[in-house]
Amino acid sequence: MSASSDSKGWSPYLAGALVGLLAVLSAAATTKVMGKTNFLGASTTFVRAAGLIEKAVVPSHVENNEYMAKEKVRVDWQFMLVLGILLGASLASRLDGSFSWEAVPPIWKERFGPSPAVRALGAFVGGLVAMFGARLADGCPSGHGLSGLMQMSVSGFVALALFFGAGVLTAHWLYGGKQS
Amino acid sequence: MNPLILGLVTGVIFGFLLQKGRVLRFEKQLGALRLQDFTIIKFMLSSILVGMFGLLILQQAGWIALSHKPFNVGAVVIGGALFGVGWAIAGYCPGTSVGAVGEGRWHALFAIAGMLAGAALFAEAYPWLKTTVLAWKDFGKIGLPDLLGINPWWCALGLAVLYLGLFVWFERRRL
C-alpha cells in the first residue's frame, strides 16, 4: 500500500487489541451502570431502527409484531453505540486525512462497472440478505464474532465459521479466484 | 451515568479503532473474503485474544456475567450462511457499514438501507421461522469449555496458542 492515507493506519494487531480492551472495560461499565452485562454488538440496532421507521408510518403494525415486541423498539445503549461507531470513524478519518467521499469502490468498479446505481443495488441486496441472516443467527461479526469468541461461545465459533465460509464462496463466485 | 451516553462514548472509541485498524474499507472486507488481505482476521483475532482473557478474569472474579448466544443449530447455520452471502455482495457487515459512512464511503448508506429492510423482513417472517427453523434443535447457551468438559482457563489457553500460532503463520507467509 503506497497511498499516503494508509501510512497513518495502525497495525491491525494493535487496533484489535485495543478493541479487546474496550470490550472488557465496556462489559464492566455496562454491568455497573445498567446492572446487566452488555456485550459489543450491532445488528439488533437495525431491528430497532427499522421498527422506529415503521412506527412513524404504521404504529399498530409494529405493536402487533411479535419480534419487534421481543426486541423492544427504542433507542438504547447499543443504538447509541452504533451511532458512536459512525462518529468515531468520522473523527479518526478526518484527523488523519483518510476521509474520502466514495460512490463506487475500485474493486467493484473493475468487476461491475462505474455505475453508482448498480453499486447501490448491490449494497442494498447484499445488506438485506446479510441482515436477515444475522437476525436468524442472532448476531453479526460483532455480536457473534467478537463478543461470542471472547466468551468462548459455541454459537460464536459456528456462526463465524459460516460467515466466512459462505462469504469466501460467494466472493469467489462474484470476483473469481484471480489475484488482483 | 446514563446508559445512552455510555453507549455513545463506547461506540465513538470502537469506531475510532475500527477506522485506525483500516477494517472499515470495502477492499479490506473483500480482501478477507477473497483470502488476499488478512487485516480483518488479524484485527478480529487480536481483539478476541485480549477480550477472552479480560472477560474470563472479570467473570471469575464475579464482576460480570457471561451471556452466550444460544446455539440454535438451524438458525445459526442457515442464518450464518445467509449472512456470509450478503456480506460478500454488500462488502460490509452491520458495524462496518455505519463506520464506512463515517469515513465518507457513502455507498454504504445503501447497505444500511438494505439491512433495515432485511431486519423488517425478518420481523415479518419471525412467527413462521419460530415454528420451523428456530424450532429444530436448540442446544441453548453453551460455552466451549462446557461442551468439552474442561476448565475455562485451559480452554482459553488452548485457543490463545491457536490464535498466536495463526499470527506467526500470517507474518511468516507475509499475508
CB A56 within 8 A of CB B66: no
Q: How confident is the model at residue B174 (pLDDT cuts 50, 70, 90)?
A: confident
**A87 touches B: beta carbon within 8 Å:** yes
Residue A59 has what pLDDT?
A: 85
H helix runs in chain A, sequence order: 12-34, 43-57, 59-63, 66-71, 77-95, 106-112, 116-137, 149-150, 154-175
CB neighbour list of residue A70: distance below 8 Å, 6 or more residues apart: none
pTM beyond cutoff 0.90:
yes
Interface of A with B in 157-176 (CB under 8 A): 157-172, 174-175
Q: Do A158 and B80 touch (CB under 8 A)?
A: yes
Per-residue CA distances from A109 to A102, A105, A120, A127, B51 (Å): 11, 6, 12, 18, 37
**A24 touches B: beta carbon within 8 Å:** yes
Chain B closest CA to A121's CA: distance in Å?
A: 7
Give the closest residue to B18 by CA, choosing from A2, A147, A84. A84
Place of cell 441472516: A133
Q: Is the pLDDT of residue A3 over 70?
A: no
Q: Which residues in chain B are contacts of A171 at CB distance < 8 A?
A: 30, 33-34, 88
The Cβ of residue A118 has, within 10 Å, a number of other Cβ atoms equal to: 14
B45 Cα distance to chain centroid:
10
The Cβ of residue A117 has, within 10 Å, a number of other Cβ atoms equal to: 10
CB A74 within 8 A of CB A177: no
Of A42, A100, A155, the CB nearest to B68: A155
Report the alpha-carbon distance of residue B3 to residue B1 in Å, rounded.
6
Element (H, E) at A115: none
CB A61 within 8 A of CB B120: no
Give the closest residue to B94 by CA, choosing from B76, B114, B77, B78. B114
Check the CA dihedral B25-B26-B28-B32 and report its sign. Answer: positive
**A52 touches B: beta carbon within 8 Å:** no
Backbone angles phi, psi at A143, to 5 degrees: -70, -50
Mutate one of A47, A129, A169, A173 to test the B interface: name it (highest B CB count within 10 A).
A129
**What's the pLDDT tens digit per position in A10-29?**
999 999 999 999 999 999 99
Q: Is the pLDDT of residue A2 over 50?
A: no
CB neighbour list of residue B173: distance below 8 Å, 6 or more residues apart: none
Backbone angles phi, psi at B143, to 5 degrees: -105, 160
For residue B48, give the chain A residue with the closest CA: A150
**What's the pLDDT tens digit per position in A72-107?**
899 999 999 999 999 999 999 999 999 999 999 999
Place of cell 444475522: A134
Chain A closest CA to B147's CA: distance in Å?
A: 8
Residue B74 has what pLDDT?
A: 95
